Structure 1
């Protein structure tokens, strides 16, 4: 079964807002075995909308549209759908009562004609009642295609997808199972990883597809199986993963469908009852930001010192000027001093320290641009690795963040015994 997601709104096309609706809808459909083969963003223009509907008619089984259902004159989706289906608008009394109650009781003002017009719907549509907003969703069918129109406000769209659209789709269509399994790897590039597992990948059956999803410092291997027999799909996926894991054991973080390394690391720290802190120079606090982006990070993350300037390394972390003058701020010695100092300051089991030249200028050191020293302080020792992440500046910072998390994660797995 094929679907297309269409977002309507000039604000998307001019980059004023980012379209998050499409990704949510696609993921929701995928979970029930409906494949999205196209995402479109189009303008608030009647002819453009009509042309898009005509092109999609009978090309796909399902079209989900978001946007253009508000009370203002530039919201034309409902009127355009009415024209496309050769229909007329009628008042839906349930929607009108809901809108009236919402405006008069919640917003404490008289209802306007524009608000009342929210209750106008095409006579041929099935109304999808919007309990969290004023614009109802609309379900309409023409020949071999179902058209679903939803408001563009994300929380309203999500409510209707979860409570109205998905249940109807499950009831209406016989769908295949689509199962995803994702392995998270760190420290090995996409091309090297592909070479290493080429023979394993070539032996995958036709109903399993492998996708490489690279990001700075990591590659996610996403396996997707499609078919009618869910138990068989799960069984074969498990068998294939069992064959793959020994081949990538040195870079495998784990089998996690949605978890990033910071989430996996956080779970490990909680499990082992460990704590961590960071001392950051060239990364400017980004490692701390990534760690604390995880809900519940306060259980293991104690704090950070962003010693960006040399004087901060001296005054806050207590690193001697003599050591800095002898080795420079971008060096193994300073990175280790930073790690040990912040570990002591926050009384943690582990600490990550980063110092380097992210560029484009060298700053207070003569080390080559792109050079980064990352130190990990453990309960028993401190060690440092040197990298050159090249340029541009953003890549250096992102790679340093990911590498720091990778190093401490592997160190906990390999050496630490509580």
Structure 2
């Protein structure tokens, strides 16, 4: 069965200069993959006519489907529609459903309707209009030389609505796609090269249509198995066998069997056990709590955090002793243990994470270099401490500490 290939073109100078981060492509890639369509290229171009035409030419030669986002707004720098008109031919015509929705949008908000707003209802007659129920600029579906080109607004909320309601259903009707299956194992505590060494025989025994990818991130290592197969039932059975083998080979470092953030993984365990948690954070400045509360429904198991950045706060809110700070320092096993004990009382929770460290770029010493972090996790009768030494910049040291603290609590909960 032929693999259906897609390219994504994102348009906008703001993407090239780093003013806006392209989150659209990642989301679109996941949706296409779920539909059995393989994204082989992602291209960003500026608001430049020649660059857009060149990208359309190149991607149309390589892929069955070219998805385009951006440049459909009402201002002069939004040039995607006139470029597409020239590329696919035809003339601009008014799309009545779009105009009616546009007029209703402005009337409901008691806003004046400008000519440039009305112009958004003009579309090339060479396209099929895709109704944008979340905004004013419609999507446009073109076909040329057997290839499909779809233009959508760059606003993520609007693009997602069009993809879900119009683009994906139409593509699934048009193409018969192979079954794409992914299964991810998350590990912690073993470097990528050491994991690869352990899996040498496993990888060599995989059939050609199953691939293993290594995806390291902040101390975690994601191992993703991908299968491309024409038969859904047989593919699922074969994938399960391969994944079970992978999991058994890495049982000692396995964290989770799904591609989920650590905050989600930890939350599921807390819910399963019916326990509540909190944090006492110094060097992470509330980032652990932020990761946990980013998960919908986290209020069922997370009560709060004490961000005790200053020693004074550690003493006043967590009961850390002045003598402990004076003798051992803020970054010490003794201090994080007392922070954890204080957080258990202050937050009235079943278990806690407490962290104190030196994130950099300054503040380190020979005894405690930048990247030194003490973590304490546990409950009323069992608090466990670990020393971590990270070696990166301030931002990455912080991210590594957040993941490490949640993983330490995960291990404690699994005891």
Please classify the TM superposition score into its range, dividing by the shorter chain length: over 0.9
Correspondent of 1:23 among 9, 22, 26: 26
Offset at residue 148 of structure 1 (A): 0.8
Q: TM-score, normalised by structure 1?
A: 0.94
Shift of 1:310: 1.8
Q: 1:320 to 1:110 in 2, by over 3 A?
A: closer
Q: CA deviation at 1:359?
A: 2.5
Following superposition, the deviation at residue 51 of structure 1 comes to 2.0
Which position in structure 1 is the counterpart of 2:411? 410
Give the 3-state SS of the residue equivalent to 1:316 in structure 2. Answer: helix
Structure 2 unaligned residues grouped into runs of 5+: none
Pair 328,111 (structure 1): closer, same or farther in 2 beyond 3 Å: closer
Distance, in Å, in 1 between the alignment partners of 2:290 and 2:395 is: 15
Q: What residue is the counterpart of 2:311 in the other structure?
A: 310
Answer yes or no: is the 8 Å Cα contact 2:315–2:322 preserved in 1: yes
- Which of residues 23, 44, 52 in structure 2 aligns to 1:49? 52
Alpha carbons 2:344, 2:380 under 8 Å: kept: no
Map residues 18-417 of structure 1 onto 2, 5 A cutoff.
18-103=21-106, 105-257=107-259, 259-362=260-363, 367-414=368-415
Gaps (5+ residues) in structure 1? none
Aligned-residue Cα RMSD (Å) equals 1.8
What is the rounded CA distance, in whole Å, between the counterparts of 1:286 and 1:385 in structure 2? 19
- In the other structure, the counterpart of 2:15 is 12
TM-score with structure 2 setting the length: 0.94
Quote the Cα distance in structure 2 between the aligned partners of 1:300 and 1:115. 47
By how many angstroms is 1:300 displaced?
A: 1.4
CA distance in 2, matches of 1:396, 1:94: 52
- Mean alpha-carbon deviation: is it higher for 50-59 or for 34-43? 50-59
CA 115–187 in structure 1, closer or farther in 2 if over 3 Å, else same: same
Instruction: Give the SS at the match of 2:36.
Output: coil
8 Å contact 1:362–1:369 — kept in the other structure? Answer: yes
Paired with 1:129 and 1:407, the residues of 2 have a C-alpha distance of 49
Give the number of equivalent residue pairs. 412
For the residues of structure 1 that align with 2:275 and 2:52, how far apart are their CA atoms?
56
SS in 1 for 2:400: helix
CA distance in 1, matches of 2:358, 2:59: 52
Q: Evaluate the alpha carbon distance shift between residue 110 and residue 290 of structure 1 in structure 2; reply closer, same or farther with a 3 A threshold.
A: closer
Shift of 1:363: 6.9
CA distance 1:280–1:115, change in 2 (3 Å): closer
Q: 1:84 to 1:368 in 2, by over 3 A?
A: closer
Greater displacement, 91-100 / 181-190 = 91-100
Distance 1:284 1:70 in 2: 39
Residues 50 and 409 of structure 1: CA distance in aligned 2, closer, same or farther (over 3 Å): same
Q: CA deviation at 1:110?
A: 4.6
Shift of 1:355: 1.8
Going from structure 1 to structure 2, the CA distance change for 1:275 and 1:152 (only over 3 Å counts) comes to same
After TM superposition, give the deviation of residue 142 of structure 1 in Å: 0.8
Distance of aligned partners of 1:390 and 1:94 in 2 relative to their CA distance in 1, 3 Å threshold: closer
Point out the more displaced range, 55-64 or 361-370.
361-370
1:44 deviates by: 1.4
